[in-house]
Amino acid sequence: MTTMKNSLLRALPKVDECLELIQLTQEVDSPRSMIKIVVQKAITAEREAILLDATKCKSKTIEEWLSVFKARIVQKMRPNLKKLYNGTGVVVHTNLGRSILSRSTTDCLMKAGGYYSNLEFNLETGKRGSRYSLVEEILCDLTGAEAAIVVNNNAAAVLIALETLASDKEVIVSRGQLVEIGGSFRIPDVMAKSGARLVEVGATNRTHLRDYENAITEETVMLLRVHTSNFRIIGFTSEVDVEKMVTLANKKNLVTMEDLGSGSLIDFSQFGFPKEPTVQEIVKAGVDVVTFSGDKLLGGPQAGIIIGKKDVIEKIKSNPLNRALRIDKFTLAALESVLREYYDIDQAIKNVPTLSMLTISEEDLKKRAQRIRRRLNNRIKKNCLIEIISTNSMVGGGALPEFRLPSWAVVLKPLSISLNFLEKNLRMLSTPVIGRIENENFLLDVRTIQDHEISGLVEMLTDFFADGETSD
Ligand SMILES: *Cc1c(COP(=O)(O)O)cnc(C)c1O
């Protein structure tokens, strides 16, 4: 046993020799320091594996080692954050980057990054300015709010609003709205971090105005409403109307706050979606503070938007936590660009990718699927059958969880490899292709594949079927 261990350890190549050999083959064009790290790590990992259980290891020839190194160097040279083709049909896909931005918005990002700007410089007075002023007026124009501030994301928006307005005080929330969003954002936990004391009222399925009324004490400062974005309570249910809650709060001199989550500026019910309150409707109802995400239904960059009454927003603005939660110039540049689109709703629906993906007609989706099928058929039909079928897509981002959008998908039916092999290996491409397996079919839902991405996608799949799908 030990002799086997020892001979395996002795057979491990020397780092310097490997570097020499890699240099000689001249095949890889990477910095020497990177190559050295790769070689050292691979040999160290093998040594540890031998020490742990030599029976599971076998010695490699130097050629085998070289091909291990080369594969790892190629891997290391590629960016870790890769663009990919989203064939899941989930528009606001949190794992795939949520909302994507239009070309004109990404142009703004490049300007913000590549040049100096008036980020915190008032061009009229020549003095220091506020970065928030770049989007505050637009947010007020679009929502009807008196004032606005933007932070890193909606979780931060909820945190800073509660910390400012309700630290050490009581905040009343309905039991039906104690949401967990995922990624460890739970309303009760965020409230605890903010120092606010949570007072739960009502039952999971029903909460009445009198429940709020009876829970108000000397210590109460706020009535909080949380949009139940990612789940539904159905059946015998009731929640208190926003207007009634505002009336009660005004009578008792309390602040009202609403965490809208997805927060849309457009009423999607005109496109056949279930009715959800828009940001404007909540502001109009008289809620003091409203928070929502920048990168969910709004279709912008990651951000947490806080709008509401002037006096309340001013307090939040002067909270020192702002400095810790503040947004950077890229976010501001992208957010301003996306918000400007909303001055003309028809243009916004055309130009903001999230909105156009959510509202594109089934007929256009079918045409897109047919186009992709036609182009793939010409190239890969020897190795893969291609069909199109109708399917359903989801909004994603925790919005409208039970709602399905009729869509179309391209189905790939490989002739010599399994669906699992196909799915896995498309994920490993230099530009990964992410689809889903459903009823023994591999689907690419075309809702989330933009027209200008089709050529690249077809290219990727053609290369894969030409040389990639050799073994199962
Ligand atoms: C998504 C969501 C959040 C968190 O927003 P992020 O922008 O992801 O931080 C908070 N509350 C609700 C109700 C949400 O839907």
| pLDDT one-digit tens code per residue, 170-182 | 999 999 888 777 6
Strand bridging mode 170-174 / 197-201: parallel
Q: Calculate how far, in angstroms, residue 416's C-alpha sits from the geometric centre of ligand 1.
A: 44
CB 162 within 8 A of CB 259: no
Q: Which residue owns the Cα nearest ligand 1 atom 1?
A: 261
Across the chain, mean pLDDT equals 92
- Which of 185, 228, 306 should be mutated for ligand 1, with most atoms under 8 A from CB? 185
Q: How far is CA 72 from CA 28, 42, 68, in A?
A: 11, 9, 6
Q: Calculate how far, in angstroms, residue 94's C-alpha sits from the geometric centre of ligand 1.
A: 11
pLDDT of residue 470: 47
**Amino acid at position 340, single letter:** R
Q: Distance (Å, rounded) from C-alpha 444 to C-alpha 434?
A: 8
Q: Which residue owns the Cα nearest ligand 1 atom 12?
A: 261
Q: Calculate how far, in angstroms, residue 53's C-alpha sits from the geometric centre of ligand 1.
A: 46
Ligand 1: nearest atom to the Cα of 156:
9
Tokens describing residue 301: 């960059």
Sign of the alpha-carbon dihedral angle for 400, 403, 406, 412 = positive
Q: Distance (Å, rounded) from C-alpha 392 to C-alpha 89?
A: 8
Could you give all domains of the chain from N- to C-terminal order, each with its CATH number?
A: 2-77 (no CATH), 85-94+360-466 (3.90.1150.180), 103-351 (3.40.640.10)
The pTM assigned to this predicted structure is: 0.91
Using a CB cutoff of 8 Å and minimum separation of 24, what contacts does 326-329 make?
326/131, 326/151, 326/152, 327/131, 327/150, 327/151, 327/152, 327/303, 329/112, 329/113, 329/117, 329/119, 329/131
Instruction: Kindly compute the dihedral angle of the four CA atoms of residues 85, 86, 92, 93, in this order, to the nearest 10 degrees.
Output: -110
As beta bridge partners, residue 186 has 180
CB 397 within 8 A of CB 98: yes
Q: Calculate how far, in angstroms, residue 231's C-alpha sits from the geometric centre of ligand 1.
A: 13
Q: What percentage of residues in the chain have a pLDDT greater than 90?
A: 79
Ligand 1: nearest atom to the Cα of 227:
13
Would you call 239 exposed, middle or buried from its count of C-beta atoms within 10 A (0-12, 13-18, 19+)? middle
| Alpha-carbon 192 to chain mean position | 25
Residue 216 makes CB contacts below 8 A (sequence gap 6+) with 172, 252, 254
| Ligand 1, pocket residues at CB < 6 Å | 153-155, 179, 181, 185, 226-227, 229, 259, 261-262, 293, 304, 398
Whose tokens are 């020549």? That residue is 126
Q: Calculate how far, in angstroms, residue 325's C-alpha sits from the geometric centre of ligand 1.
A: 15
Q: How far is CA 207 from CA 187, 237, 400, in A?
A: 17, 8, 22
Q: Which residue owns the Cα nearest ligand 1 atom 6?
A: 154
> For 60-93, what is each residue's pLDDT tens digit?
999 999 999 998 998 898 899 999 999 999 999 9
DSSP 3-state of 347: helix
> For 267-322, what is each residue's pLDDT tens digit?
999 999 988 899 999 999 999 999 999 999 999 999 999 999 999 999 999 999 99
**Residue range 152-156: mean pLDDT, rounded:** 94
Q: Distance (Å, rounded) from C-alpha 44 to C-alpha 343?
A: 59
Closest CA to 171 of 147, 193, 145: 193
Q: Which residue owns the Cα nearest ligand 1 atom 3?
A: 261
pLDDT of residue 472: 42
Ligand 1: nearest atom to the Cα of 398:
15
Q: Calculate how far, in angstroms, residue 158's C-alpha sits from the geometric centre of ligand 1.
A: 9
- pLDDT of 139 strictly over 50: yes
Q: Calculate how far, in angstroms, residue 319's C-alpha sits from the geometric centre of ligand 1.
A: 21
| Alpha-carbon 79 to chain mean position | 19
CB 222 within 8 A of CB 194: no
Residue 18 makes CB contacts below 8 A (sequence gap 6+) with 39, 43, 65, 66, 69
Closest CA to 216 of 194, 204, 199: 199
pLDDT of residue 468: 54
Q: Distance (Å, rounded) from C-alpha 274 to C-alpha 268?
A: 7
